[in-house]
């Protein structure tokens, strides 16, 4: 009886964990498959329309004419942020 | 009423009256000026591109061209006088010559066609072959409406000075005890640059969308030549209906974009960079009016118009092909199940056991 009293909560926890993992696995599998299939089909669809405006005028830059004439970097602010790092042993408690 | 265009003293773009502020506002650079500030003495020259004085066909060669007006869409094209009827390249309706042009502006230069109609059709077929989602019926469609056109463009030269500021951040992280610390060092980054542009094209017609006239770029201007009426033989062209003043904001926008890219690419060594301001000051150069060659195709299929264009010099082909929904969803599910099997095996056999341990 004492043995069962010790084992029962452990089995219950394991069963709950397994259920969570299964749900996670199914959602992740379907989500990833939908995402990748959507990206591939989207890329195929995008090939159907090649009518797009030019963003800039890079074709028309006179070779050798593009040059940086001034560059400066000034430190204006410094601050420190901190985040409490979860202790791995305490996570399981 | 005067139709004098007041220009922005900062960038040269047109100024318009801004009712909320009661001032003259530049839609390009956003500068505001009081109305008295924008009064330009008659003797003072305005900043802007240098355009050679226009010449006209009948004045330079004594020849005339025919103009065609489409009663359906209002399109107007120019062709040889011996052409008596043609199809409207914009809406595909038939229409006939209605008058002889007496003052057709001659382009400063042009690029003759180097690609034939057969090459344009072959490019269309080749493009279609590589598309998996095209409806089966569309593959059998016949291209009956294909027209070689000289499209009027304005070419802008300018040297552009750019100034931009950025907010750059460098980060350094370390751990101490139960805490992860991150030092954020914020910089104000300034850049100035100079970029020269030659022959930035902007379409002079509203009859073809800017998407098409820009998508077929670039052209090789080194092969441009002086205008001769003979080049128009077998092709049509349309008169510009967007003048150089109306077209130049687009040229400036494109130059600004590239100038901004040049400066942004020089900002390196930061974990994140955010642009906080960017301005350009163009020093205007020459402005030219040119004819550039373009093959234009229209296909009406299932009640919808599909437009295609090919650069008549380089052969670059652009267009919008229909998508078969049956093929799309068929392909989607055909991919979904094998992908789900692969991801499922990976997740359940490798990822979850690792998480559980």
ipTM for the assembly? 0.70
What is the rounded average pLDDT of the residues B156-161? Answer: 93
At A63-79, the pLDDT tens digits run 999 999 999 999 999 99
Contact A76, B187 (CB under 8 A): yes
Q: A43 or B236: whose pLDDT is higher?
A: A43
Distance CA(B321)–CA(B291), nearest Å, equals: 27
pLDDT for A90 beyond 60: no
For residue B134, the distance in angstroms to the closest alpha carbon of chain A comes to: 8
pLDDT score, position A22: 85
| Greater model confidence, A4 or B43 | A4
Contacts of B299 (CB under 8 A, 6+ apart): B141, B143, B145, B305, B306, B308
Taking only residues 11 to 50 of chain B, the set having a beta carbon closer than 8 angstroms to any beta carbon of chain A reads none
The answer to whether the beta carbons of residues B144 and B317 sit under 8 Å apart is no
Contact A60 B200 (CB under 8 A): yes
By CB atoms closer than 10 A (0-12, 13-18, 19+), residue B60 is: exposed
pLDDT at B44: 43
Task: Give, as one character, the DSSP assignment of residue B221.
Answer: G
CA separation for the pair B168, A64 (Å, rounded): 28
The arithmetic mean of pLDDT across residues B314-342, rounded, is 93
Verify whether the Cβ–Cβ distance A66 to B195 is below 8 Å. Answer: yes
Q: What count of other Cβ atoms lies within 10 Å of the Cβ of residue B46?
A: 12
Residue A80 has pLDDT above 90, yes or no: yes
Question: How much of chain B, in percent, has pLDDT values that exceed 70?
Answer: 76
CA distances from B37 to B30, B31, B40, B172 (A): 15, 12, 8, 51
CA-based radius of gyration for chain B = 27
Report the residue of chain A nearest B211, measured CA to CA: A53
pLDDT value of position B2? 36
Contact B331 A21 (CB under 8 A): no
User: In this predicted structure, what is the pLDDT of residue A23?
Assistant: 87
The residues near B234 (Cβ < 8 Å, ≥ 6 apart) are B148
Q: What is the pLDDT of residue B56?
A: 67
- The answer for B 126-155 residues in CB contact with A (under 8 A) is 130-134
Q: pLDDT tens digits, residue range A34-63? A: 999 999 999 999 999 999 999 899 999 999
CA B357 – CA B348 distance, rounded (Å): 13
pLDDT in tens, B188-229: 999 999 999 999 999 998 888 889 999 999 999 999 998 887
Report whether pLDDT(B164) > 70: yes
Q: What is the pLDDT of residues B132-156, one digit of tens each?
A: 999 988 888 888 778 888 899 999 9
> What pLDDT sits at residue A13?
56
Angle subtended at Cα B130 by Cα B127 and Cα B131, rounded to the nearest 5 degrees = 95
User: How far, in Å, CA of B5 to CA of B20, rounded?
Assistant: 21
Residue A88 forms contact with B (CB below 8 Å): no
How far from the centroid of its chain's Cα atoms is residue B142's Cα? 28
Judged by a CB distance cut-off of 8 A, whether residue B325 touches chain A is: no
Shortest CB distance from A83 goes to which of B180, B262, B351? B180
* Residue B283: its H or E element: strand B272-301
pTM of the predicted model over 0.80? no
Model pLDDT for residues B6-52, shown as the tens digit of each residue? 667 776 676 766 666 766 777 777 777 775 565 544 444 456 777 77
Q: Which of A12-16, B234-238, B272-276 reaches the highest mean pLDDT? A: B272-276
CB distance B191–A68 less than 8 Å? yes
Q: Phi-psi bin for B166: left (phi > 0), alpha (psi -120 to 50), beta?
A: beta
Using an 8 Å CB-CB cutoff, list chain A residues near B212. 51
B319 pLDDT more than 80: yes
Query: CA–CA separation, B280 vs B62, rounded Å?
Result: 44
Does residue A27 belong to the interface with chain B, where contact is any CB pair within 8 Å? no
pLDDT at B231 over 50: yes
Interface membership of A77 toward B (CB under 8 Å): yes
Q: Which of these, B238, B240, B276, lies nearest to B260 by C-alpha position?
A: B276
> What was the pLDDT predicted at B81?
57
CB B217 to CB A44 under 8 A? no
Per-residue burial over B254-266, b = 16 or more CB atoms within 10 Å of its CB, e = otherwise:
bbbbbbbbbbeee
Whether residue B65 contacts residue B230, with contact meaning beta carbons closer than 8 Å, is answered with no
More confident residue, A85 or B310: B310
Helices marked H in chain B: 57-60, 117-129, 136-139, 210-215, 244-265, 325-346, 352-356
Q: What percent of chain B has pLDDT over 90?
A: 45
Optimal mutation site among A17, A57, A58, interface B, most CBs of chain B within 10 A: A57
- A6 touches B: beta carbon within 8 Å: no
Chain A interface mutation, best of B156, B198, B203, highest count of A Cβ atoms under 10 Å: B198
CA distance A13 to chain B (A): 12
Contact B320 A76 (CB under 8 A): no
Whole-number average pLDDT of chain B: 82
| β-pair type (B145-176, B236-237) | parallel
Q: What is the mean pLDDT of residues B90-117?
A: 71
- What CA–CA distance (Å, rounded) separates A62 from A69? 16
pLDDT band at B84, cuts 50/70/90? very low
């Amino acid at each position: 009886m004492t043995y069962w009293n010790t084992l029962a909560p452990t089995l219950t926890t394991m069963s709950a964990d397994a259920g969570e993992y299964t749900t996670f696995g199914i959602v992740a599998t379907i989500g990833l498959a939908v995402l990748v299939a959507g990206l591939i089909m989207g890329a195929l669809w995008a090939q159907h329309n090649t009518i797009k405006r030019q963003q800039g005028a890079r074709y028309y830059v006179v070779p050798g004419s593009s040059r940086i004439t001034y560059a400066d970097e000034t430190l204006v602010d410094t601050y420190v942020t901190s985040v409490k790092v979860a202790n791995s042993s305490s996570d399981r408690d | 009423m005067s139709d004098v265009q007041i220009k922005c003293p900062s960038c040269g773009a047109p100024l318009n009256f801004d009712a909320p502020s009661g001032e003259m506002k530049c839609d390009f650079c956003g500068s505001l000026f009081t109305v008295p500030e924008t009064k330009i003495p008659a003797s003072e020259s305005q900043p802007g591109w240098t355009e050679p004085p226009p010449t006209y066909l009948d004045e330079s060669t004594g020849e005339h061209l025919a103009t065609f007006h489409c009663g359906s869409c209002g399109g107007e094209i120019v062709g040889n006088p011996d052409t008596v009827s043609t199809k409207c390249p914009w809406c595909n309706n038939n229409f006939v010559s209605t008058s002889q042009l007496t003052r057709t502006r001659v382009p400063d230069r042009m690029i003759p066609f180097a690609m034939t109609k057969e090459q344009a059709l072959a490019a269309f077929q080749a493009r279609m072959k590589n598309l998996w989602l095209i409806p089966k019926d569309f593959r059998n469609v016949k291209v009956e409406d294909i027209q070689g056109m000289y499209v009027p463009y304005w070419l802008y030269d300018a040297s552009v000075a750019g100034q931009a500021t950025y907010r750059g951040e460098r980060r350094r992280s370390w751990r101490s005890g139960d805490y992860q610390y991150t030092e954020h060092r914020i910089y104000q980054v300034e850049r100035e640059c100079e970029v020269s542009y030659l022959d930035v094209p902007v379409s002079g017609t509203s009859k073809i969308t800017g998407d098409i006239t820009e998508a077929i770029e670039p052209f090789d201007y080194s092969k441009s030549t002086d205008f001769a009426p003979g080049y128009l033989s077998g092709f049509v062209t349309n008169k510009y209906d967007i003048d150089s003043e109306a077209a130049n904001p687009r040229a400036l926008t494109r130059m600004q974009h590239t100038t901004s890219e040049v400066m942004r690419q020089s900002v390196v060594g930061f974990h994140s960079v955010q642009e906080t301001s960017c301005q350009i000051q163009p020093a205007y150069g020459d402005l030219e009016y040119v004819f550039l060659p373009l093959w234009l195709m229209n296909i009406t299929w299932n009640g919808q118009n599909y437009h295609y264009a090919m650069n008549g010099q380089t052969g670059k082909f652009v267009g919008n092909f229909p998508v078969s929904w049956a093929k799309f969803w068929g392909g989607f599910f055909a991919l979904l199940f094998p992908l789900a099997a692969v991801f499922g095996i990976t997740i359940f056999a490798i990822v979850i056991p690792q998480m559980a341990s």
